[in-house]
Chains A and B, each alone.
Chain A
Amino acid sequence: MMLMKRRDFLKAAAAAGAMASLYGCAGGNKAGGHVVVVGGGFGGATVAKYLRMWSEGSVQVTLIERNPAFVSCPISNLVIAGTKSMEDITVSYDNLKSKWGVRVLQDDVLAVDTAKRSVKLAKGGEMSYDRIVLSPGIDFMFDQIPGLNNAAAQEKIMHAWKAGPQTVTLRKQLEAMKDGGTFAIAIPKAPYRCPPGPYERACVVADYFKKNKPKSKVVILDANEDVQSKKGLFVKAWNDLYKDTIEYRPNSEVKDIEVASNTAILEFDKFKADVLNVIPPHRAGNIAAQSGIKLINNRWVDVDWLTMESTSTPGVHVIGDAIFPAPTMPKSGHMANQHGKLTAAAIINLLAGQAPNPTPVVMNTCYSFVDAKNAIHVASIHQYDAATKLVQPVKGAGGVSAARNELEGKAAMGWAKNIWADMLA
């Protein structure tokens, strides 16, 4: 280099760059362009921030989110149990705007034209993109539970499976319930968002009952044949702490409801509750299907694990709960954040004319509270496998807690504060 004149060096560098792109080798091109991110949850907020951070501001990012602030599903069960407030789980989008230069629009996307590469916004106008990231979370299949398939029913029977107004209403319903009443939570067949979440909710509501309404009961109506996550630890908590409070009923799929009487209708049985909490089956957020991208089982988006790009539609990346997961991969906020980083790295490479990272890794950590202070975890690490073109769980790694304890309760809150900051601070 020392012997080369500057002009010659530039020529050589340009030629090397041409060679590099010809052979898919990393050249010195800088990523540029406009990325639209739809949905500002764990996945969308992360990809927006990391695109700006890792491109050093050279990629323009617009985040479209219908809510004015981020409200976290993780920790929202503690709001339902009365030990945390909505304020505790709400984080502003201000830092994404002021610190990272993300253009945040409070709006809704009506349609994505994947051929024209543009989105149509509810408040009017269209916006073009070079690449789009859909992080739409889930929408509920209310048609699977006919009695719940109308607005009036949905105002009375909460899912509280998207944190927000429903979280507050469910809390109020529990506060208003008489001592000696029954809270029933209905879990849909897997896959659903946050596999341990419903069992955590049962635990922390039972803890609230024990302390405030000790004659009350919690009944878990699980459509699955068994506990879907952290089974040993949850069953132990139920036996040790809630023997007279929690009743677990497997193979109890809710087929319909009678709204007036708070009754869940099962295949061969009925169950009347004082507070009925029904989590309907769900699928990828509606914008995914509306965009015409390939779904598996008409529910979840099929993605390429090197880029999180739709396998059917170039330029459309999909992350978070909306995707058809890789083997043993849970639908979790933590995993959505990891998808967001994988996608940010891939998009920056692609916009610079480079190949995506051929060896991505994602990992999951999920804490669940079993009472106001004690928590348990499950963790897993997933490495890309070129043979199957999937991220595969690493055998012998990950696992669950040895036992519930307060240290993990503290770690759970530490996790929450750090992941919220990793997305939004």
Chain B
Amino acid sequence: MKRLTAIAAVCLLASAGAHAADPNLGRNLAATCANCHGTNGKAVPGGGMDSLAGESKAKLLQKLADFKSGDKPASIMHQITKGYTDEQLSLIADYYAAQK
């Protein structure tokens, strides 16, 4: 019953916090990019948008960081990346890296 106590304790802890994270938070955040980058990061071929599915997390995070800092020139991504926290960008990168 130790296990049950532990699970219940985790749940209680999670629900006590104002920001108990949704288990699908990464999926939900990544979906905000899909309008341009395709459902689950699979962009329409020939549409001129980057596919993100299956890219390595390190590469995705570096790109996002470079957009955010302004190191990588962009027409729009420098403005969009600033709207997400680094933690959110990390969850987004995790999600897309895991897509096949």
Identify the A interface with B (CB < 8 A).
1, 4, 9, 12, 15-16, 19-20, 23-26, 49-50, 53-54, 334, 337-338, 341-342, 345, 349, 355-363, 365, 377, 379-381, 383, 386, 394, 396-399, 401-402, 405, 407-408, 410-411, 413-415, 417-419, 421-422, 425
Contacts and interface: CB of A to CB of B under 8 A. Distances in A.
Most chain B Cβ neighbours within 10 Å, of A1, A361, A396, A410: A361
27 contacts: A12-B1, A20-B7, A20-B11, A24-B15, A25-B12, A341-B34, A342-B28, A345-B22, A349-B22, A355-B20, A357-B25, A358-B18, A359-B19, A359-B22, A361-B32, A365-B36, A379-B79, A383-B83, A386-B18, A398-B80, A407-B75, A408-B75, A413-B48, A417-B47, A418-B37, A422-B35, A425-B44
B48 A414 contact: yes
Given A386-B18, A417-B44, A23 B76 contact: no
Given A345-B24, A360-B28, A397 B35 contact: no
A67 to B, nearest CB: 22
Contacts of A16: 4, 7-8, 11
A381 B37 CA distance: 16
A175 to B, nearest CB: 30
B98 to A, nearest CB: 15
Given A414-B48, A415-B35, A15 B4 contact: yes
B13 to A, nearest CB: 9
Contacts of B36: 365, 414-415, 418-419
Contacts of A399: 79
B39 interface: yes
Contacts of B21: 358-359
Contacts, number: 153
B59 interface: no
Contact of A361 (B20, B29, B35, B76): B29
A207 B19 CA distance: 51
Interface in B27-74: 27-29, 31-32, 34-39, 43-44, 46-49
Given A23-B12, A361-B84, A418-B36, A398 B47 contact: no
Given A16-B4, A19-B7, A24-B15, A363 B80 contact: yes
Contact of A358 (B20, B29, B43, B44): B20
A350 B23 CA distance: 14
A349 B23 CA distance: 10
Interface of B: 1, 3-4, 7-8, 10-12, 14-15, 18-25, 27-29, 31-32, 34-39, 43-44, 46-49, 75-76, 79-84, 88
Contacts of B35: 334, 337-338, 365, 415, 418-419, 422
Contacts of A397: 79-83
A231 to B, nearest CB: 17
Contacts of A341: 28, 31-32, 34
A357 B28 contact: yes
A25 B38 contact: no
Nearest to A335: B35
Given A358-B20, A425-B39, A365 B80 contact: yes
B11 A345 contact: no
Given A397-B80, A414-B48, A12 B4 contact: yes
B8 A19 contact: yes
Contacts of B24: 54, 345, 357
Given A337-B35, A418-B43, A425-B39, A25 B84 contact: no
Contact of A363 (B7, B32, B43): B32
Contacts of A25: 10-12, 14-15, 20
Among B29, B46, B82, max chain A CB count under 10 A is at: B82
Contacts of B18: 358, 386
B31 A26 contact: no
A410 B46 CA distance: 11
Contacts of B49: 411, 414-415, 418
B19 A394 contact: no
A410 B29 CA distance: 25
A49 B83 CA distance: 26
Contacts of A401: 75-76
Contacts of A418: 34-38, 43-44, 47, 49
B83 A421 contact: no
B80 A23 contact: no
A362 B29 CA distance: 8
Contacts of B80: 363, 365, 379, 381, 397-398
Nearest to A1: B3
A172 to B, nearest CB: 30
